A and B are shown apart, each in its own frame.
Chain A
Amino acid sequence: MRHLMNPLDFTTQELEKLFDLASQIEANPQKFRHVCDGKKLATCFYEPSTRTRLSFESAMYNLGGNVLGFSDAASSSASKGESVSDTIRMISCYADICAIRHPKEGAPMVASSKAGIPVINAGDGGHQHPTQTLTDLLTIRSLKGRLQDFTIGLCGDLKFGRTVHSLINALIRYPNIHFIFISPEELKIPDYIREDVLDKNHIPYQEFIRLEDCMQDLDLLYMTRVQKERFFNEQEYIRLKDFYILDKEKMKLAKKDMLILHPLPRVNEISIEVDEDPRAVYFKQVQYGVYVRMALIMTLLELV
């Protein structure tokens, strides 16, 4: 029995298989309509989430399965003081697979150590969000046709953004990826990513403060939101939240085939006028999120 805690739990070969399956699903979703007949997915969300929970639910329904669960800690036994270990033992009796989101880092790992069913980490605090990374990789692979030989710009909150850290960790396994980090001084990439991931693996990177200074070099631009919930000081958040706004003017500097990705939700870091630009693929990315979760559920339930 396998779980997914970290995007690096799967080798690049295993990811290729997963993405191939996701592409088959995209090409012919009807073929997979009854793959999970009689199976149940438990969505245990100890903190609110719209996209991820609905994406998991949509994925399971698309496969013919059913869904049960809770969408915040207040409506679970956690409000009565039940431990994650006890909850997952109980859930294992009700469902065939579980997706868990928890504000505490490592909670899904604790769950996986006690579970009798496959557990998927659907986000644990500022730590990991592996299915978002799988979504990002599938989007790039599907729309760029490759997961190598490109320059990717990561823009916004590079300090607290877990999607950014996970994506960097996942991309360094592919050849010839050049990173460009665009952030204000206060939200630069943390030292441990710089030293333990990039320098250690001799990965080239550049850092900029202004998006305009590097826009023309990018094959992909991964925008992120400055997350209010990661700040202890509201004034600091207000000062930094509008540091980057991607608009039509800035897009004029970009390559004709550059793609814009965003893990969503967006606040105002991408102007709505950019949505019409064919290079804006962040809503397609949401659709790829469903395909990759469908492929993941099938893989972990050994239905492939």
Chain B
Amino acid sequence: MVLNMLNVGKIEEGFVLDHIKAGKSLSIYEYLGLDKLDCTVAIIKNAKSNKMGKKDILKVECDPSLLNLNILGFIDHNITVNVIKKGDIQEKQILVLPTEITNVIKCKNPRCITSIEQELPHVFLLTDEAKSVYRCKYCEEKYEKFY
């Protein structure tokens, strides 16, 4: 009998985000806006992984169309997105870098117009796909790092 095994049940419809960098699942939870949805979410932290040593996993029971998963491409393109329907993996989504990100990250440039006009959306544009560089649409300040 395995005493330290944690069982999280299968989900019928939703998605499983696998290969999240260990310790970062709560950030993903927040960036996807899962706190605003009335659905079942399982957050698994520090699961054993052959590939990564340790990893986090998020299981979300909801209509997959409710969430914009494109943002995951920006956050970490190594995350595996399994879309679940009728209890089985329906598809594995390939993550790409979104060309535009709105209200996910904030411009930190104190000279940017967004620093004084609070109602403006924080928009970042992909300016160099090869280097994954995003710049603020207004002041062109480079966004350095997500995590």
Chain A positions near chain B (C-beta within 8 angstroms): 83-85, 102-107, 109-110, 124-127, 192, 196
Contacts and interface: CB of A to CB of B under 8 A. Distances in A.
Given A110-B138, A196-B128, A104 B112 contact: yes
Contact of A104 (B113, B128, B141): B113
Contact of A106 (B112, B128, B142): B112
Contacts of A105: 109, 111-113, 138-141
A104 B112 CA distance: 5
Contact of B113 (A84, A126, A196): A84
A232 to B, nearest CB: 11
Interface of B: 109, 111-117, 119-120, 128, 133, 136-142
B117 A103 contact: no
A83 B111 contact: no
Contacts of A126: 111
Nearest to A105: B139
Contact of A84 (B109, B112, B117, B139): B117
A287 to B, nearest CB: 31
A103 B119 CA distance: 18
A127 B112 CA distance: 9
A104 B111 contact: yes
A103 B111 contact: yes
A247 B115 CA distance: 42
A110 B138 CA distance: 7
A107 B111 CA distance: 10
Contacts of B111: 103-105, 125-127
Nearest to B120: A110
A104 B115 contact: yes
A127 B140 CA distance: 8
Nearest to B116: A104
A106 B136 contact: yes
A85 B117 contact: yes
B125 to A, nearest CB: 12
Contacts of A196: 128, 133
A196 B138 CA distance: 18
B117 to A, nearest CB: 5
Nearest to A192: B142
A107 B113 contact: yes
A107 B107 CA distance: 14
Contacts of A110: 113, 117, 120, 138
Nearest to A125: B111
Contacts of B136: 106
